[in-house]
Amino acid sequence: MRERTSKWAKRAVVALAVAVPSALVFVFLSVEVTSQPRFCGSCHFMNPYYQSWKTSSHKNVACVECHIPPGIASEVRKKYEALAMVARYFTGTYSTNPWAEVDDQSCLRSGCHTKRVLLGKEVYQGILFDHQPHLNELRRGKRLRCTSCHSQIVQGSHITVTPTTCFLCHFKDSKLNQGTARCTLCHEVPQKTITTAGLSFDHGDVKRFDMDCTQCHQGVVRGNGEVPRERCYTCHNDAKRLKLYDKTEFLHQQHVTDHKVECLNCHIEIVHKIPAREEVLATGCESCHSQAAGHSAVRDLYRGIGGKGVQPRPAAMYLAGVRCEACHISNDGESKRASSVSCMSCHGPKSLTIYRTWRAGLTNRMEGIKAELQNVRKRVEEKGDGAGHVALKDVEQNLALIERGHGIHNPPYAADLLLHSHQDLSATLVDIGDPAPASVPWLQAPYAAECLNCHFGIEYMKQPAFGREFPHGTHVVSARLRCAVCHEGMDHHGEIKLSEDGCDNCHARIVEPMAGLTAEDCLGCHSADLGKVSDKVNFPHEKHIAAGLDCSLCHAGVDSKPHIQFARSGKALPKFGHEFCATCHEGDVPDAEGTPPEGADCAKCHVEF
């Protein structure tokens, strides 16, 4: 009996001697194998997460380093959970929507991000961020964790910053640019000039004039982040838990602080971005200024559409995303109005002049076209043949669009419509056998210049200079002087470079005969590039001056008469024609019968030939 017991004891000892080491080896190998990221990716439903990890910034950090907090207890617990997951996989009872957490201890362990909470503010993708208050202080009464902002599950990414979480925390139940929704909490005010769609704005003015960001940046937040009750049912079906719907603090403790549940699993997303151009017009103003309310002209003019005969030309401020509320800041009963103060509140006092030039330019153009329309309509009715009625309707529609839409919303487009209306009216007169007007029915600079892109309508402005009144119309239109004669270039934008003596010298010269005048004398005031002087002929002044020709060769009498008398004589400009050009270019112009010489290139001088 004793021999049999001894034999079994020996066998048990041998078995234990083999089994225990084998078990230890098996456990060690199991722990080691299951700690490899490749093992995590061996399950098909885990493969998307494994692939996103391989391309993430944590690709050199094993899964267990993050998903298992430091400490033996956490190691044993997580390994048990992992073995349970393996068992469920082989028994077919697993879920295809796995859920895992990353504890803050994993992120802040030695060798990882321990110093992160000690850092000051840093700029991440243009956004100011400070880890200390987010991790060490309550945010809106809630204790955050690393994964509150660094999401574990983002399609195609792994542990990455999720801006939607930031937007939800900062903007929910907050008014834009107040409290947690203050712009400067995240965005530094750019100390530079930013150009968008041709519109330049010096953001340094924001601090200088104590401007509110929302004057321009309206509509940058969409959504309220509410929690529909039905979303609770996607995770819970216990009536006891569902009754806790209104326990906001308790729910955030459970879902945010104690466990990581994606915010958007419960909340509707809040979007924070610069609105698309069409969204610029989706404001509270549309309750009145909409198609149904009969005010679509305002929206159409701002977008640069709705006119007849010209290409669409959206306002620069529309292209830059400036909404109605940015300019309509003055309360007037139930509505808000815009004025010159609106311009100055963003662009400074100098914008007052530009605003006034726009108003003056548009007002005088409108009056000119209305008078011209009345005259042409009268002539068409006198003819009585029905000709020109289509063109007249187009002109009337353009005028209505500008009046109802207020041309100041888009001055360049309004100017295009008025110029085309003048051309339509001129063509109508020609069609009925009347001569077309010699010029547009408003004051207009006789040349193209970059300055006029902004200073549209400057021809009507009178400004004080050296104690006297300076009429731009006289100098720009009549004397054909370029802006650079009196003003500095863009480096010192708008500054007057001409002294009082300079004005006196110029005016003293124009009242005396200018004997011995040379081209260099003329270029002291007049630019060589005088622009288009005829609708049919392209005459390059600069080429003739460069060839050494004196101005008096074409402008007969300019050197023998007082300049102001010469300018008003009606003979300042030569009478263009083949006979005049033949003085120098006899071999290039047609003869008296209109036959051009052999080899003549008519398009050399003629435009739209």
Rounded Cα distance, 356 and 339, in Å:
10
Residue 189 CA, chain-centre distance (Å), reads 16
> How would residue 293 be classed by pLDDT, with cut points 50, 70 and 90?
very low
Rounded Cα distance, 131 and 126, in Å:
16
| Residue 100 pLDDT exceeds 80 | no
> How would residue 281 be classed by pLDDT, with cut points 50, 70 and 90?
low
Over residues 469-487, the mean pLDDT reads 85
Give me the pLDDT at residue 291, please: 54
Entry field: residues in the chain? 609
> How would residue 601 be classed by pLDDT, with cut points 50, 70 and 90?
confident
CA dihedral 369, 375, 378, 380 (to 10 degrees): -70
Locate the domains of the chain by residue range: 2-106, 116-272, 284-431, 482-604
**DSSP structural state of residue 222:** E
Helical (H) or strand (E) element with 426: helix 411-431
> How would residue 87 be classed by pLDDT, with cut points 50, 70 and 90?
confident
As a CATH number, domain 2-106 is: 1.10.3820.10
Give me the pLDDT at residue 138, please: 78
Over residues 175-183, the mean pLDDT reads 88
| Residue 310 pLDDT exceeds 90 | yes
**Residue 379 identity (one-letter amino acid):** R
| Residue 59 pLDDT exceeds 90 | no
Over residues 499-505, the mean pLDDT reads 82
Q: What SS3 class is residue 465?
A: strand
Over residues 25-49, the mean pLDDT reads 74
Over residues 205-210, the mean pLDDT reads 77
**DSSP structural state of residue 189:** P
Over residues 483-502, the mean pLDDT reads 82
Rounded Cα distance, 143 and 53, in Å:
27
pLDDT exceeding 90 applies to what percent of the chain? 13
Exposed/middle/buried for 318, CB within 10 Å: 0-12, 13-18, 19+?
A: buried
pLDDT in tens, 440-474: 999 988 887 888 888 889 999 988 888 888 899 88
Of 188-197, 268-277, 359-368, the range with the highest mean pLDDT is 359-368
Give me the pLDDT at residue 14, please: 74
Rounded Cα distance, 499 and 287, in Å:
53
Picking from 293-307, 389-403, 449-463, 536-550, which range would have the lowest pLDDT averaged per residue?
536-550
* pTM of the predicted model over 0.75: no
| Residue 512 pLDDT exceeds 50 | yes
Give me the pLDDT at residue 419, please: 94
Rounded Cα distance, 564 and 557, in Å:
12
**How does the average pLDDT of the chain come out, rounded?**
80
CA angle 319, 421, 294 (to 5 degrees): 60
Over residues 241-270, the mean pLDDT reads 88
pLDDT in tens, 333-342: 777 888 888 8
> How would residue 555 be classed by pLDDT, with cut points 50, 70 and 90?
confident
* Closest of 523, 522, 514 to residue 560, by C-alpha: 514
Q: Which phi and psi (to 5°) does residue 154 adopt? A: -125, 130
Q: Say if strands 127-129 and 468-471 run parallel, antiparallel, or are unpaired.
A: unpaired
Give me the pLDDT at residue 387, please: 58
| Residue 332 pLDDT exceeds 80 | no
* Closest of 69, 58, 57, 68 to residue 35, by C-alpha: 68
Over residues 179-189, the mean pLDDT reads 85
Q: Say if strands 271-272 and 335-337 run parallel, antiparallel, or are unpaired.
A: unpaired
Give me the pLDDT at residue 228, please: 92
